[in-house]
Amino acid sequence: MRMLSELCAPAASAFFTDNNLFYLLVCHMAIASLNYGLTDASVHAYADLAIILDPAFNRYQEAYQFAKLARGLFNKYGPNEAKAYVCMEQISLWTEPITTAIDFIRLGSRKYS
Protein backbone atom coordinates (compact mmCIF):
# COMPACT_ATOMS: atom_id res chain seq x y z
CA MET A 1 0.00 0.00 0.00
CA ARG A 2 2.83 2.38 0.77
CA MET A 3 4.34 1.79 -2.66
CA LEU A 4 0.98 2.35 -4.35
CA SER A 5 0.40 5.56 -2.41
CA GLU A 6 3.82 6.84 -3.54
CA LEU A 7 2.71 6.26 -7.13
CA CYS A 8 -0.40 8.40 -6.61
CA ALA A 9 1.40 11.72 -7.03
CA PRO A 10 2.92 10.88 -10.43
CA ALA A 11 -0.32 9.20 -11.50
CA ALA A 12 -2.30 12.26 -10.47
CA SER A 13 0.07 14.39 -12.53
CA ALA A 14 -0.46 12.05 -15.47
CA PHE A 15 -4.22 12.43 -14.94
CA PHE A 16 -4.34 15.09 -17.64
CA THR A 17 -2.81 12.79 -20.26
CA ASP A 18 -4.26 9.42 -19.20
CA ASN A 19 -6.77 9.55 -16.37
CA ASN A 20 -7.38 5.79 -16.56
CA LEU A 21 -4.00 5.11 -14.94
CA PHE A 22 -4.94 7.22 -11.92
CA TYR A 23 -8.41 5.63 -11.73
CA LEU A 24 -6.90 2.14 -11.87
CA LEU A 25 -4.37 2.89 -9.15
CA VAL A 26 -6.94 4.41 -6.80
CA CYS A 27 -9.42 1.56 -7.31
CA HIS A 28 -6.67 -1.02 -6.74
CA MET A 29 -5.71 0.68 -3.47
CA ALA A 30 -9.32 0.84 -2.29
CA ILE A 31 -9.89 -2.85 -3.08
CA ALA A 32 -6.65 -3.83 -1.32
CA SER A 33 -7.78 -1.87 1.73
CA LEU A 34 -11.10 -3.66 1.76
CA ASN A 35 -9.42 -7.06 1.40
CA TYR A 36 -6.46 -6.64 3.76
CA GLY A 37 -7.37 -3.89 6.21
CA LEU A 38 -6.72 -0.21 6.74
CA THR A 39 -3.43 1.63 6.68
CA ASP A 40 -2.56 5.30 6.46
CA ALA A 41 -2.41 4.85 2.65
CA SER A 42 -6.00 3.57 2.69
CA VAL A 43 -7.18 6.96 3.80
CA HIS A 44 -5.68 8.59 0.72
CA ALA A 45 -7.21 5.87 -1.46
CA TYR A 46 -10.72 6.57 -0.14
CA ALA A 47 -10.27 10.33 -0.47
CA ASP A 48 -9.05 10.00 -4.07
CA LEU A 49 -11.82 7.51 -4.84
CA ALA A 50 -14.36 10.05 -3.64
CA ILE A 51 -12.85 12.67 -5.92
CA ILE A 52 -12.98 10.47 -9.04
CA LEU A 53 -16.47 9.10 -8.40
CA ASP A 54 -18.01 12.54 -8.93
CA PRO A 55 -16.93 13.60 -12.42
CA ALA A 56 -16.05 10.20 -13.86
CA PHE A 57 -19.12 8.21 -12.85
CA ASN A 58 -21.68 10.79 -11.67
CA ARG A 59 -21.96 8.95 -8.34
CA TYR A 60 -22.26 12.04 -6.17
CA GLN A 61 -23.83 10.57 -3.04
CA GLU A 62 -21.44 7.62 -3.00
CA ALA A 63 -18.54 10.03 -3.45
CA TYR A 64 -19.77 12.08 -0.51
CA GLN A 65 -19.94 8.95 1.66
CA PHE A 66 -16.36 7.97 0.72
CA ALA A 67 -15.21 11.52 1.46
CA LYS A 68 -16.84 11.34 4.90
CA LEU A 69 -15.19 7.97 5.48
CA ALA A 70 -11.78 9.36 4.51
CA ARG A 71 -12.32 12.38 6.76
CA GLY A 72 -13.21 10.14 9.68
CA LEU A 73 -10.24 7.87 9.09
CA PHE A 74 -7.84 10.80 8.85
CA ASN A 75 -8.45 11.41 12.54
CA LYS A 76 -7.18 7.90 13.31
CA TYR A 77 -4.74 7.02 10.50
CA GLY A 78 -3.89 10.12 8.55
CA PRO A 79 -1.02 12.46 9.21
CA ASN A 80 -2.56 15.29 7.18
CA GLU A 81 -6.11 16.26 8.02
CA ALA A 82 -6.01 19.14 5.51
CA LYS A 83 -6.27 16.69 2.58
CA ALA A 84 -9.48 15.30 4.05
CA TYR A 85 -11.01 18.76 4.25
CA VAL A 86 -9.97 19.59 0.68
CA CYS A 87 -11.55 16.33 -0.44
CA MET A 88 -14.74 17.19 1.43
CA GLU A 89 -14.72 20.63 -0.20
CA GLN A 90 -14.43 19.17 -3.70
CA ILE A 91 -17.22 16.67 -3.14
CA SER A 92 -19.45 19.16 -1.32
CA LEU A 93 -19.52 21.35 -4.41
CA TRP A 94 -21.66 18.64 -6.02
CA THR A 95 -23.75 17.53 -3.07
CA GLU A 96 -24.13 20.35 -0.54
CA PRO A 97 -24.79 24.10 -0.50
CA ILE A 98 -21.78 26.18 -1.59
CA THR A 99 -21.38 27.52 1.95
CA THR A 100 -20.56 23.99 3.14
CA ALA A 101 -17.78 23.70 0.57
CA ILE A 102 -16.42 27.10 1.61
CA ASP A 103 -16.42 26.01 5.26
CA PHE A 104 -14.45 22.85 4.43
CA ILE A 105 -11.82 24.72 2.41
CA ARG A 106 -11.41 27.21 5.27
CA LEU A 107 -10.90 24.34 7.71
CA GLY A 108 -8.39 22.78 5.34
CA SER A 109 -6.41 25.99 5.00
CA ARG A 110 -6.30 26.40 8.78
CA LYS A 111 -5.02 22.84 9.22
CA TYR A 112 -2.41 23.38 6.52
CA SER A 113 -1.00 26.60 7.93
Sign of dihedral through CA atoms 104, 105, 110, 111? Answer: positive
> Domain residue spans in the chain?
2-112
% of the chain surpassing 70 pLDDT: 81
**0.75 surpassed by pTM:** no
Q: Are 60 and 54 in contact (CB under 8 A)?
A: yes
**How would CATH label the architecture of 2-112?**
Alpha Horseshoe (1.25)
Of 88, 93, 91, give the one whose Cα is nearest residue 104.
88
Question: Does residue 113 have a pLDDT over 60?
Answer: no
Q: How do residues 24-47 score in pLDDT, each as one tens digit?
A: 888 898 999 899 988 877 887 888
Q: Are 45 and 24 in contact (CB under 8 A)?
A: no
Q: How do residues 68-89 score in pLDDT, each as one tens digit?
A: 888 888 777 666 667 777 778 8
